[in-house]
Structure 1
Amino acid sequence: MSEFAERFEDLRIWQQSRVLANGIYDVMVGCSDYSFRNQIERAATSSMNNIAEGFERRTSRDFGHYLDIAKGSSGEVRSMLYLAEDRKFIEKHLAEQLRGKAEILSSGIAAFRRKL
């Protein structure tokens, strides 16, 4: 993967996924529904970790597979943010802000995937 970066930490999509994961952890800290909180945090972390794991596999085919999983997890985060807003676990403006970050991440992953 050296044609893109030397380390996964240098990938813009990994950096974006890290910001998203931290944002999810920050807003869900007070959520009383532990199961919901755990699921959305795991989905957010999954995007970040799958980008890293795929990068470390060192083949375009494997990396592409893990990028597909990361993109799916980003979609899961977006979907769960609607429910978090509906259930009043987080405020609307925070849900919208995080959905925007997740959508940008999904688009970035798709664009990066096309370059492999």
Structure 2
Amino acid sequence: MNFEKLAVWKRSVRLSADIYMETKCLKDFGFRDQLTRSGLSVPSNIAEGMTRSSPREKIRFLDISRSSLAEAKTQIIIGYKINYLSKHKVEVWLQETDELSAMITGLMNKLNATN
């Protein structure tokens, strides 16, 4: 399966890029680095997993991707609470993290069914 054709990969790439663009002027380098790294991990692990040969390995990397998404979601919430991120951006990103998580879970379930 070509990961570049997956909607979940495309959307997670957009989210990661948006996080980078939105936080590029943030002076708290530790927070910015942690958020951008967790966001970057999502599409990266989808890509790595979907290029693996066994369904079991694909699922393992998708699970890592979903965990990175939960990490990013937590950091987004904290970013809002400490006034680093706007309410509008946070609302958009939280909805996107929820939808991406559901998409990753669906892909994992599909792979489990074929296993």
After superposition, residues 4-15 of structure 1 pair within 5 angstroms as: 5=1, 7-15=2-10
Amino acid at match of 2:48: E
Cα deviations by residue, 1:67-92 (Å, 9 ceiling, x for unpaired): 00000011111110011111111111
Runs of 4+ in 1 over 3 A off after TM superposition: none
Aligned residues: 111
| Cα RMSD, aligned residues only | 0.8
Q: Is contact 1:85-1:95 (8 Å) kept?
A: yes
Q: Normalization by structure 2: what TM-score? A: 0.93
Give the gaps of 5 or more residues in structure 2.
Answer: none
Aligned to 1:20: 15
| 1:1-116 → structure 2 map (5 Å cutoff) | 5=1, 7-116=2-111
Which runs of 5 or more residues in structure 1 are unaligned? none
TM-score by length of 1: 0.92
Structure 1 distance, partners of 2:6, 2:80, is: 30
Identity over the aligned pairs, expressed in percent? 31
Instruction: Summarize deviations over 1:8-28 as a string: whole Å, max 9, x none.
Output: 101111111101101111111
